[in-house]
Amino acid sequence: MQDIEAIADVAHKAGIPLIVDNTMATPALCQPIKHGADIVVYSATKFLGGHGNSIGGLIVDAGSFDWAASDKFPALSTPNASYHGKIFTESFGNLAFILACRTLGMRDIGPAMAPFNAFQILTGMETLILRMDRHCANAVQVATWLSGHPAISWVSYAGLRTSPYHELAQKYMTGRGGSVFTFGLKGGYDAGVKLVSAVKLFSHLANIGDTRSLIIHPRSTTHRQLGESEAVEAGAGPDVVRLSIGIEHIEDIIADLDQALASLE
Ligand SMILES: *Cc1c(COP(=O)(O)O)cnc(C)c1O
């Protein structure tokens, strides 16, 4: 969790826009433009769609950034040869960036969503608020329960009052911490590998933001290529397990973690 207003100040003093990836918080918890962000990006694959069934993304431009105020953005403020010499900042003002995304980015790279995926993501977004309430309520209960478990050395979740990020969560995230967080196993690497294969309700997946609870041990999967110290710096040390808490019944979620942790003994 970041202090968005403080970072926006630094960015704007340096003449650069603040771009926030709000995938984890979603607009249900955090609206970065209200805090000074110029552009907000999302992986719609996660909570927005919410069901782990479609890949997509969003770029939201507040129209608040003046791309012509410096010579830092020549692709927008000088003639574009691939677009008949158009100067995007002259034609479109503060909308230069987002229109360049469409007219240049989409044209050159082609990231156009299939209609069925758009349908699934739009349908998912209708229940975003309801799902986030349940995701967060479940996650805070799981994090609290894990904090008291003897096999666990630490829990990093901004939704807990004991978290150093809780104050920022109050300011920016309605006091809630979302549903993705990490914890440390006293048993280290081997315990992490074993836990992931012992769960039954949780799915072993690198995705997040699904209605179903997901678990991964990053050190043996997504972050296995890193060196030891790099992995620790990336928050993926050998003892780290990441959860994305779903919207199942809280008792089922905790019962599954309980039996899986018991199997480590
Ligand atoms: C997954 C993720 C992405 C990438 O999104 P895809 O939809 O998988 O391409 C970007 N930012 C965050 C924070 C993510 O979790």
Dump pLDDT digits (tens) for 65-105.
Answer: 999 999 999 999 999 999 999 999 999 999 999 999 999 99
Query: Residue 258: what are its φ and ψ, rounded to 5°?
Result: -60, -50
Contacts 24+ apart (CB under 8 A), 214-222: 214/243, 214/244, 214/246, 215/241, 215/242, 215/243, 215/244, 216/241, 216/242, 217/192, 217/193, 217/241, 217/242, 218/242, 219/189, 219/192, 220/189, 220/192, 220/193
Which atom from ligand 1 is nearest to the alpha carbon of 55? Answer: 7
- Closest Cα to atom 15 of ligand 1: 23
Q: Inform me whether the pLDDT recorded for 115 exceeds 90.
A: yes
H-run or E-run covering 63: none
Per residue in 159-214, pLDDT (tens digit) is 999 999 999 999 999 999 999 999 999 999 999 999 999 999 999 999 999 999 99
Q: Inform me whether the pLDDT recorded for 265 exceeds 90.
A: no
CA 259 distance to own-chain centroid: 28
Please give the domain boundaries of the chain with CATH numbers for all domains: 4-125 (3.40.640.10), 128-262 (3.90.1150.10)
Tell me if 213 CB under 6 Å of ligand 1.
no
Which atom from ligand 1 is nearest to the alpha carbon of 23? Answer: 13
pTM: 0.94
H-run or E-run covering 66: none
Q: How far apart are CA 42 and CA 24, in angstroms?
A: 8
Measured in Å, residue 210 CA sits from the centre of ligand 1 at 13
Amino acid, single-letter form, for residue 168: L
Percent of residues, the chain, with pLDDT higher than 70: 100
Residues 68, 100: contact at Cβ < 8 Å? no
Q: How far apart are CA 87 and CA 89, in angstroms?
A: 6
57 CB-contact burial (10 Å; exposed 0-12 / middle 13-18 / buried 19+): middle
Angle at 51 between CA 192 and CA 253, to 5 degrees: 45
Per residue in 126-142, pLDDT (tens digit) is 999 999 999 999 999 99
- Closest Cα to atom 3 of ligand 1: 43
The pLDDT of residue 231 is 96
Which atom from ligand 1 is nearest to the alpha carbon of 209? Answer: 15
